[in-house]
Amino acid sequence: MSDDIASAKQRLPLPALMHRLGLGAHAKKSAKCPFHDDKHNSFSAWQNNGAWFFKCHAGCGEGDEINFLELQENLSRRDATKRFLNLAGLNDVATTRVEIPPMSICGNHSENESRASFPSRNESRTTFDWQKCVEKFSAKHLERLSKWRGYLGEFCSWLHERGLVGLYDGCIAFPVHDAQGNVVAAHVRAKDGSWYYAPKGAKTRPLVIGELLPGETVHVFESQWDGFALMAVSGERDGIIITRGASNGALVAEVIPKQATVYVWPQNDRQHKPEEKWPIVNGIKIPPSENWTKDVCANTKCAVKSAKTPTRFADLNAWTKDGGATAKDLLDAMQSAETLREPERPLIEFRSPLQLKNFIPPPGLVLAGHFHIVKGSVFVIGGAPGVGKSRAAVALAVAGATQSDWFGLKVHRRFKVLICQSENGEFRLAREFAELDCETLENFVRVCPPPPYGLCFGRDGFREQLAAAIADFQPDVVVYDPLNAIAREQDSAEYLTTFDALKSVFPFGDDAPSLGVVCHTRKPKPDERASGRALLNMLAGSYVLGSVPRTAFVMQAASDDTTDNRIVWTCCKNNDGDLGTRSAWERRNGLFAAVTDFDWDTFDAPEKDKRELITETDVRGLFGNGALTITEAKKQLHSNTGAHPVTCYRALKPDGRFAKHLRFEGERINWK
């Protein structure tokens, strides 16, 4: 039984099951609950390690596909399991197709059966009686339709019961509705395979099946055979639009609801239709299905995604009939659909207090820290030239690939990082990445060498190519390094325009990555040592650099010593969470290592050396009582001489002036 359940879950995963039950609108990460009168989104459906789950956060229940059926149909666990296996087609009853000898749906009918009471295609009548067409479509016609198109007999009966198929002049026909939903004509398939409308003069209108609701999923097809194939296999009964031919894609403008997500299912005309039958568009021959897809995209403001049928099949109906496509196959095609058009976002929206309270963020939104790095938000890394900002961006990419901490911030999941930079050439990048585990990073990190014309966001081609790279890699974080390579002028208008340009190449909604920018800090004033929140004022450029990002980090050199590889890392702004404590790090092995014995007092209150020189006598005198730790020796030397701690540190280094007199024993040091 467990094997059967596993097979059923493969064939009919939770979203497909919900579609089959007429609840496809709820198969989302955030939706209204189908089990209670939900005023606000409290229901979630998600996938984890290949398995699907649901949960009502208001308390209706949670679980898998079988648990869903228990709740939806008030069944015991045993009966829900039987029902699920039945729906998934794992018993003889559910999958029986009507098998009869092949024949045309229009062929060899008696005069009484096919022509009585119906006008011919050349006749007209004042009132079109579609119901008589439906009544004339007999059980025998249903059997022929099932055999011809490979639909389950149960689904064919459903079409007939709802008046979606009939017989006109002895040929199969489908209803044509006016704007009020009245059937005013029939779309008829003649015996020679051609199509016509009756009565004569009827206008072409799309066939709409089920409800079309704002914000929900809509499926658009050229042919009713493809639309019916999806319905028969997936169980979907709402949101179906059939344009009745590849030349009618523009008709969707009349019916697609606002803010819908549109899935188009084009036929594979490029592989299966002779080129001589392709239309000429702007002087170029293109397959009819591709022209149809363009027409659909051009006539809606909604998101449009193209679900692909395997190219060995001419269309979706062939895939389900001859290829045995399952509900899972169709769901996979939707999940991997190519985005053809991003939705036009509303310029402003409002939420009620309860809607705000009940908002459920999508899983994986927070990437690092206490809301420090969040998908869809902006962060900035600032610092003086040469302090290691680019290395910090690479360190973030490594942390995302390995789910390891980043400057002490917890990384909550693995994520992808794309770095768009214009300063470090491939020679420098090769040296940096030679120190890293590149095999582990391979599928999680992308870095561009300096583009030949720089980060030229003013060029349409550059933005298009960058947007395509982002759509292909689907990063969770995109870092631009440095910002002044894009924003040339340091005024607020330039910076606001730049941030808009940076975001213009991103996808919308839950797919939008976190935007990181690398920028310089201004030259400090004499004896100035900013810290904490005051570091936000050190960012060079417009005030926009401090106002637009939700999070800001600043890197400072630990000292002015050119051989000192240590830096201080501070989060000086976090609008959504805690700032966290500052920390000290040393550049090492291509990344950063924590410094545990950093002298914060000296860093916060730098002072000039009271002595210009530390002598050999000063150093030798430290070790009269034996070896000391390096920290102990540095503090004692500072106390004895009054020299700056950094000067003391340099005097005790293994490569310092007194190295030939010093013996290093692990963490301890002594005079030879």
The residue to which tokens 């009618």 are assigned: 248
Task: Locate the domains of the chain by residue range.
Answer: 2-95, 100-205, 207-346, 366-604, 616-671
208 forms bridges with which residues in the sheet? 241
Topology given in CATH for the domain delimited by 2-95: DNA Primase; Chain A (3.90.580)
Nearest-angstrom CA–CA distance, 607 and 643: 9
Is 118 within 8 Å of 133 (Cβ atoms)? yes
Domain 207-346: CATH class, spelled out: alpha beta
- In total, the chain counts a number of residues equal to 672
Nearest-angstrom CA–CA distance, 199 and 658: 105
Nearest-angstrom CA–CA distance, 314 and 480: 44
pLDDT at 117: 33
The residue to which tokens 């029939």 are assigned: 186
Q: What is the CATH code for 616-671?
A: 1.10.10
- One-letter amino acid of 527: D
Nearest-angstrom CA–CA distance, 518 and 470: 19
Helix (H, G, I), strand (E, B) or coil at 628: strand
3.40.1350.10, 3.40.50.300, 3.40.50.720, 3.30.460.10: which CATH number matches 366-604? 3.40.50.300
Q: What are phi and psi of 584, to 5 degrees?
A: -115, 140
Residue 511, token pair as written in the block: 């797919």
HSE (side-chain half, CA atoms, 13 Å) at 385: 5
Q: Which residues neighbour 329 within 8 Å (Cβ) at sequence distance 6 or greater?
A: 319
Neighbours of 619 (CB within 10 A): 23
3-state helix, strand, coil in the chain (%, to 5): 35, 20, 45
Nearest-angstrom CA–CA distance, 111 and 109: 6
Alpha-carbon dihedral 608, 612, 616, 622, rounded to 10 degrees? -20
Nearest-angstrom CA–CA distance, 225 and 211: 19
Helix (H, G, I), strand (E, B) or coil at 477: strand
Nearest-angstrom CA–CA distance, 121 and 188: 9
pLDDT at 124: 42
Which of these, 332, 266, 272, 313, lies nearest to 293 by C-alpha position? 266
Neighbours of 206 (CB within 10 A): 21
Which of these, 310, 273, 276, 302, lies nearest to 290 by C-alpha position? 273
Alpha-carbon dihedral 479, 485, 490, 494, rounded to 10 degrees? -70
pLDDT at 528: 67
Return the beta strands (E) in 28-82 as ranges. Answer: 43-48, 51-56, 62-63
304 forms bridges with which residues in the sheet? 262, 341
Q: What are phi and psi of 530, to 5 degrees?
A: -70, 155
HSE (side-chain half, CA atoms, 13 Å) at 304: 21
Q: Which residues neighbour 658 within 8 Å (Cβ) at sequence distance 6 or greater?
A: 616, 619, 651, 652
The residue to which tokens 């026909």 are assigned: 173
The CA distances from residue 396 to 2, 112, 384, 401, 590, in Å, are: 43, 77, 19, 9, 12
Which of these, 244, 252, 243, 246, lies nearest to 269 by C-alpha position? 246
Residue 498, token pair as written in the block: 């730049």
pLDDT at 110: 33
pLDDT tens figures, 297-306: 999 999 999 9
- One-letter amino acid of 517: V
Is 31 within 8 Å of 25 (Cβ atoms)? yes
User: Pairing relation of β-strands 183-189 and 171-177?
Assistant: antiparallel
Is 285 within 8 Å of 369 (Cβ atoms)? no
pLDDT tens figures, 351-372: 889 888 887 777 889 999 999 9
Is 495 within 8 Å of 544 (Cβ atoms)? yes
- Residues 642, 644, 646: CA angle, nearest 5 degrees: 145
Nearest-angstrom CA–CA distance, 657 and 662: 10
pTM of the full structure: 0.53
Chain centroid to Cα 73, Å, comes to 33
Query: Exposed/middle/buried for 153, CB within 10 Å: 0-12, 13-18, 19+?
Result: middle
* Mean pLDDT, the chain cut into blocks of 10 residues (672 residues total): 81 84 81 86 85 90 93 88 84 37 37 34 60 94 95 93 94 92 93 92 92 90 97 93 94 90 95 89 87 94 94 96 94 92 80 84 89 95 93 96 96 96 92 93 96 88 90 94 80 76 82 92 75 88 80 93 91 94 90 90 66 79 89 88 82 86 89 88
Helix (H, G, I), strand (E, B) or coil at 491: coil
Neighbours of 211 (CB within 10 A): 13
3-state SS, 196-225, equals EEECCCCCCCCEEECCCCCCCEEEEECCHH
Q: What are phi and psi of 577, to 5 degrees?
A: -165, -165
Helix (H, G, I), strand (E, B) or coil at 625: coil
Chain centroid to Cα 257, Å, comes to 23
Is 342 within 8 Å of 302 (Cβ atoms)? no
Residue 233, token pair as written in the block: 């296999």
Q: Which residues of 541-572 are buried (b: 16+ CB within 10 A; e: fewer)?
A: bbebbbebbbbbbbbbbbbeeeebbbbbbbbb
- One-letter amino acid of 159: L
